Chains A and B, each alone.
Chain A
């Protein structure tokens, strides 16, 4: 078979295991990033001057944390967090061990996207809700979140794609996944075909995420 000729060193079992690990890391970290990012984004937005919970102390504190973590390159963040992953996850090997770094690395980025999405929500609509006597949590859950949904979805799509490349980097702590496989089996043993196969798989995963994200965002957009 042609594929065998082109990819002599590729073991499909390894490939599927690595794909599963990449998907596992991506999906769990996307969920974690979604939750943490929206909370941080809300905090940034609500405590801003002139907004519902205006509080410059909390706002600048949150902004500083977000900015600091965004400034740290992911590869260094992994190394920084390495001592804590055992404590947090009960292990420092395998896909699980990469999750804290993935979430902490991506959430600040997503938080900024969330903040921007909330800023795009029509002030008039928030005001209308206030004029009806809405409580703050009603405004959050029934106005801010639904009205910014398309931007929140396209934001998490971009973030998810960043996370996929982060999972590849997480290979350095032996997190597993396609990046790990490409590095350990492909690069170190000079089996270029393995690197190549891993690349194709990752590109396909990215495309699938982008496709799903675009479709969901379009579906949510009733403007």
Chain B
């Protein structure tokens, strides 16, 4: 296990009240994973990620990275350890007084790398994040997306094992967000870097994360593989986030007219996971069975672990044929959920 977090808590004590910003969080993150943490504003996501590199001191609990107990390190050892934990920020936090080149060189200066080695590393990183030719620009001369690329290059300068991202794309437009997310995925694969990604946007999780934890009021209310959470969200918060991704999909009200108690009609929800989503299941069914299929609504979402799709259909036909059809669909690996009530 790359990162192991045990019973991590943070209590802010203030004059008027105390805020339990992070409440007894236990998580394990595998090496090379992109681990998403999603939650609404005030859920404690930023506090949580800042506890990992101790920008915030935990009131309780333990953070282990690569068998180093971060929570027990002395100030000096912590500084050394932080060089191996990259971090990127929502507002980039670049030094405006330094050029792109000098910003990326900064963590290397901190680590005491010699000038010649610094140069090689900075140029390599500039190449990696696609900013060649902009070395001498100042941050004020860059777009948001370019600034975040500098932020990423800077975070990677000392070859970290972990990259912490706090809302790294929240200040960017959708297209730039996609570029940055793609960059993070390619870095994750190229460098086998473990990434912790804080966000309040489900599509960020969908697009790049392998695993996800859902936070609410300081607690992790749900965690698991992204696909599992997508297909079967358990907690109310997770359900709301899945819905946010595809507002139509869980709008079951519009299914109501089709849900009858009649023998020869059935509304079913099909879950396509992974490669099943790409198969021509419906036309297969129509060729094989004497049945009519009404497509009511559907969606497809690509995730890091494969494509995930849902399809609501109404099956019209002989009762026995309907049952056979459902069995056939199930046998082809697609999950079928019979909807007989709208929630």
User: Which residues of A are at the interface with B, using a C-beta cutoff of 8 A?
Assistant: 122, 124-125, 127-135, 138, 142-143, 146-147, 149, 220, 222-223
Contact = CB atoms under 8 A, between A and B. Distances in A.
B191 interface: no
A132 B107 contact: yes
B89 interface: yes
A138 B110 contact: yes
A130 B82 CA distance: 8
Nearest to A128: B93
B79 A133 contact: yes
Interface in B144-177: 154, 158, 164
A133 B96 contact: no
Given A147-B97, A149-B97, A223-B96, A133 B81 contact: yes
Interface residues of B, number: 28
Chain A binding surface, main DSSP class: helix
Contacts of B89: 124, 127-128
Contacts of A222: 96-97, 138, 140
Given A131-B87, A138-B109, A142-B106, 13 more contacts: A125-B95, A128-B89, A131-B164, A132-B82, A132-B154, A135-B79, A138-B110, A142-B109, A146-B97, A146-B98, A147-B95, A223-B96, A223-B140
A125 B93 contact: yes
A196 B34 CA distance: 75
Nearest to B87: A131
B111 A125 contact: no
A128 B96 CA distance: 13
30 contacts: A124-B89, A124-B91, A124-B93, A127-B89, A128-B89, A129-B106, A129-B110, A131-B53, A131-B55, A131-B85, A132-B83, A132-B107, A132-B110, A132-B154, A133-B111, A134-B79, A134-B110, A135-B110, A142-B109, A143-B95, A146-B95, A146-B97, A146-B98, A147-B96, A147-B97, A149-B97, A220-B97, A222-B96, A222-B138, A223-B96
Contacts of A131: 53, 55, 82, 85, 87, 164
A131 B95 CA distance: 14
A138 B82 CA distance: 15
Contact of B80 (A130, A133, A223): A133
Interface of B: 53, 55, 78-83, 85, 87, 89, 91, 93-98, 106-107, 109-111, 138, 140, 154, 158, 164
Nearest to A149: B97
A133 B98 contact: no
Smallest CB-CB A-B distances: 5 pairs:
A133-B82, A128-B93, A124-B93, A133-B79, A146-B97
Nearest to B108: A132
Contacts, number: 65
A151 to B, nearest CB: 12
A219 to B, nearest CB: 12
A122 B80 contact: no
Contacts of A149: 97
Contacts of A142: 106, 109
Contacts of B110: 129, 132-135, 138
Contacts of A135: 79, 110
Contacts of B87: 128, 131-132
A142 B98 CA distance: 10
Which interface residue of A124, A127, A222 has the most chain B CB atoms within 10 A?
Answer: A222
A220 B98 CA distance: 11
Contacts of B91: 124
A125 B89 CA distance: 10
A146 B107 CA distance: 16
A128 B85 CA distance: 11
Nearest to A143: B95
Most chain A beta-carbon contacts within 10 A, residue among B81, B107, B138, B158:
B107
Given A124-B93, A222-B96, A223-B140, A130 B106 contact: no
Residue with the highest number of chain B CB atoms closer than 10 Å, among A122, A132, A135, A223: A132
A220 B96 CA distance: 10
A132 B93 CA distance: 12
Given A132-B110, A133-B111, A125 B81 contact: no
